């Protein structure tokens, strides 16, 4: 059977998962009367809540007698590791570009990886139904991007399709058609069949699946030979050692599920059951003549955070897994499938350094662990510095901001304060398109400030570019915080009296403990306050003295906002039901000693 392997790559929110939906419907994977909903591939709770793709997933459809393996990839730069590993399974890519926004930072990143692997691109200019869209101009910008990334002559001669995943049509011109068949025809015409070399069996594991019935399942593309059920194989490990094994069961992807088969020929993507203790990047090879494929190269992490056990007074109230051993086992288990992550033990057995691609990458891990019943404390995110030719260097990112004209000066001011340098400023209809080169440190906490300054109108995206010399001190949070003096249940009476001192993160009636951060102070510097004091009741009353408490609703910070908000002497307590910000040292005397040592150092 003819096979085509394609990956769909694009910047976040340019319509990848919506396009996969249309491919699924066009090839009649579901019955006509079957209820499917939207964004079918985003089947993880976190993905549905956030409206983003976090994990790469593959499905298989059949069109005109040809099997097409489709791989849906994430669009956020933080999940770039997912894209890097699955591109090895593809022979061609559908590069989606928004007809209004044009190529964005993640477009450049994923395209560079695809071109480097020699994949054939098909450019799809999506969302041409949007007002103010500029498909012809975007097409020219995409060509310029290909040229900048040193595409070959063959890759520069890419076919282009226009259309709208929402309306369900694509065409080689801007003329609207009835369906997406022209896109599927372009895949058959321009994506080559899998290149198959002669020799013994080889399959690189690029993804893993898990079944409570079958255990861990290795997923990858057979690069050479034929893999058969019951076949004895050797697993070529990352450390060059060999482990003997046997293929118990083989599955190929069919529609949204898998189908059991007796053998899989080179070029097809399959799932292998029965191999123990494998890692992504290892090779399933012939028993008698094992040959390993080159290991998947993944970009290094740029940020780290300290994970430790929850040592607050509320320890163990909500979570099932609270010990350092539980935490360590879970973090090392995550390394099996999350290639861009690193975990390092510290001198303290209760603390671990976790390295990732960015705040979103790390926060998704924390959120997943919370939902699984873990309690943990996480520290302030720190960028990873390197010494290059004797010079201290830090990661820099390419930041792109689209914002209405009237807010452009505020955005430029905010970024410049954080050591950013403007590279490009151009008009896109009523919007200003701004591009900056800035240290990754400067991005921490920038999103919330920018949304406040632009009345929520700014659209920002960023992507790691390179390491450059250290830029010096970047100003942090201007305001201090209000810290609880002692534990107890907060009262409306106390919060009402303290409202003019700051904006609260708690409501009356919530339990607090000493050292917990309750509010943002209106001035620099921290202040210890008592929020558990109740109104003294007497038998004397006089009219007009007892005004009703008028308390503003609390500020609800998400996990990412908390991570961007905290300073060096603060941390976040994460439990299955609560996220609290607290001081590292809960006792006020310990905090004073710590601040004195910081000033001396």
List the one residue out of 438, 489, 444, 486 whose CA is nearest residue 464. 438
- pLDDT tens digit string along 54-73? 777 778 888 888 888 888 88
- Residue 393's pLDDT is 92
Q: Is the pLDDT of residue 39 over 60?
A: no
Question: What CATH number has the domain spanning 481-536+550-563+582-600?
Answer: 2.40.50.250
DSSP labels, 218-282 = EEEEEEESEEETT-EEEEE-TTS-EEEEE--EEEEEEBTEEEEESEEETT-EEEEES--S--TT-
Mean pLDDT of 379-391: 89
Residue 164 annotated as binding site: no
- pLDDT tens digit string along 451-484? 888 888 888 888 888 899 998 888 877 889 999 9
Contact by Cβ (8 Å): 62, 68 = yes
pTM of the model: 0.81
Residue 128 annotated as binding site: yes
- pLDDT tens digit string along 161-193? 998 888 888 888 888 888 888 888 888 888 888
Residue 521 annotated as binding site: no
Non-local CB neighbours of 77 within 8 Å, separated by 6+ positions: 105, 106, 109, 357, 358, 461, 462, 463, 464
- pLDDT tens digit string along 182-237? 888 888 888 888 877 788 888 888 887 777 787 788 888 888 888 888 888 888 88
Q: Does 202-286 match 2-190 at the fold level?
A: no
- Distance between CA atoms of residues 442 and 549, nearest Å: 40
The average confidence (pLDDT) of the chain is 84
509-513-517 Cα angle (round to 5): 90
H/E stretch holding 489:
strand 488-489
- Distance between CA atoms of residues 397 and 511, nearest Å: 41
**Topology (CATH level 3) of domain 386-469:** Alpha-Beta Plaits (3.30.70)
Contact by Cβ (8 Å): 8, 165 = no
Residue 126 annotated as binding site: yes
- Residue 53's pLDDT is 66
Looking at the chain, how many residues does it have?
Answer: 601
Residue 351 annotated as binding site: no
Q: Is 415 helix (H, G, I), strand (E, B) or coil?
A: helix
Q: Out of 2.40.160.60, 3.40.50.2300, 3.40.50.300, 3.20.20.140, select the CATH number for domain 2-190.
A: 3.40.50.300
What are the structural domain ranges in the chain?
A: 2-190, 202-286, 386-469, 481-536+550-563+582-600
- Residue 543's pLDDT is 47
- Residue 488's pLDDT is 92
Residue 497 annotated as binding site: no
Q: How confident is the model at residue 596 (pLDDT cuts 50, 70, 90)?
A: confident
List the one residue out of 325, 338, 331 whose CA is nearest residue 307. 331
List the one residue out of 354, 338, 333 whose CA is nearest residue 298. 338
Q: How confident is the model at residue 601 (pLDDT cuts 50, 70, 90)?
A: low
Taking the alpha carbons of 252, 253, 255, 260 in that order, is the dihedral positive or negative?
positive
Q: Is the pLDDT of residue 305 over 70?
A: yes
Mean pLDDT of 552-570: 89
Q: How confident is the model at residue 45 (pLDDT cuts 50, 70, 90)?
A: low
Contact by Cβ (8 Å): 8, 73 = yes
Residue 33 annotated as binding site: no
Give the Cβ contact number of residue 298 at 10 Å. 16
- Residue 3's pLDDT is 86
- Distance between CA atoms of residues 68 and 122, nearest Å: 15
Residue 16 annotated as binding site: yes
Q: Which CATH class is domain 202-286?
A: mainly beta
Residue 409 annotated as binding site: no
- Residue 436's pLDDT is 92
Residue 428 annotated as binding site: no
């Amino acid at each position: 059977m003819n096979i085509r392997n394609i990956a769909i790559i694009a910047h976040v929110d340019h319509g990848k998962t919506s396009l996969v939906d249309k491919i699924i419907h066009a090839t009649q994977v579901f019955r006509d009367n079957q209820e499917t909903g939207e964004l079918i591939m985003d089947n993880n709770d976190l993905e549905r809540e956030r409206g983003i793709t976090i994990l790469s997933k593959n499905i298989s459809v059949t069109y005109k007698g040809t099997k097409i393996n489709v791989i849906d990839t994430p669009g956020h730069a933080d999940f770039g590791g997912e894209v890097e590993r699955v591109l090895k399974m593809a022979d061609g890519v559908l590069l989606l570009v928004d007809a209004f926004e044009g190529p964005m930072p993640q477009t450049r990143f994923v395209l560079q990886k695809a071109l480097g692997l020699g994949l054939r691109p098909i450019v799809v200019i999506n969302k041409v139904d949007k007002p103010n869209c500029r498909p012809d101009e975007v097409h020219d910008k995409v060509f310029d991007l290909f040229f900048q990334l040193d595409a070959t002559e063959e890759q520069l001669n890419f076919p282009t399709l226009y259309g709208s995943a929402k309306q369900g049509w694509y065409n080689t011109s801007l003329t609207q058609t009835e369906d997406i068949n022209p896109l599927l025809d372009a895949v058959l015409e321009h994506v080559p069949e899998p290149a198959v070399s002669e020799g013994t069996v080889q399959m690189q594991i690029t993804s893993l699946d898990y079944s409570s019935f079958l255990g861990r399942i290795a997923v990858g593309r057979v690069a050479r030979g034929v893999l058969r059920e019951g076949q004895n194989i050797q697993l070529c490990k990352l450390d060059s050692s060999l482990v003997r094994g046997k293929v118990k069961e083989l599955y190929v992807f069919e529609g949204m599920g898998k189908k059991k088969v007796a053998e899989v020929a080179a070029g097809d993507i399959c799932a292998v059951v029965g191999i123990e203790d494998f890692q992504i990047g290892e090779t399933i090879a012939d028993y008698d003549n094992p040959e390993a494929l080159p290991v998947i190269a993944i970009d290094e992490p740029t940020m780290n955070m300290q994970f430790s056990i929850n040592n607050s007074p509320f320890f163990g109230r909500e979570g099932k897994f609270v010990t350092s051993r539980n935490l360590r086992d879970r973090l090392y288990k995550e390394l099996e499938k999350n290639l861009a992550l690193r975990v390092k033990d510290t001198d303290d057995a209760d603390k671990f350094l976790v390295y990732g691609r960015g705040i979103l990458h790390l926060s998704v891990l924390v959120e997943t662990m919370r939902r699984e019943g873990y309690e943990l404390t996480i520290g302030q995110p720190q960028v990873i510095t390197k010494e290059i030719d004797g010079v201290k260097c830090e990661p820099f990112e390419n930041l792109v901001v689209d914002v209405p004209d009237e807010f452009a000066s505020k955005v430029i001011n905010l970024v410049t304060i954080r050591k950013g340098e403007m590279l490009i400023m151009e008009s896109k209809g009523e919007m200003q398109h701004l591009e900056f080169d800035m240290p990754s440190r400067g991005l921490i906490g920038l999103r919330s400030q920018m949304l406040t300054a632009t009345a929520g109108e700014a659209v920002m995206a960023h992507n790691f570019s390179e390491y450059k010399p250290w830029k010096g001190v970047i100003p942090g949070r201007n305001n201090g915080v209000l810290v609880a003096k002692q534990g107890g249940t907060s009262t409306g009476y106390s919060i009402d009296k303290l409202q003019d001192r700051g904006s609260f993160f708690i409501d009356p009636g919530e339990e607090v403990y000493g050292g917990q951060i309750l509010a943002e102070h209106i001035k620099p510097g921290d202040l210890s306050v008592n929020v558990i004091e109740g109104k003294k009741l007497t038998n004397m009353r006089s009219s007009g003295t007892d005004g009703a408490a008028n308390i503003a609703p609390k500020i609800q910070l998400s996990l990412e906002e908390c991570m961007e908000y905290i300073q060096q002497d603060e941390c976040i307590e994460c439990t299955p039901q609560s996220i609290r910000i607290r001081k590292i040292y809960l006792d006020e005397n310990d905090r004073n000693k710590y601040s004195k040592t910081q000033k001396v150092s």
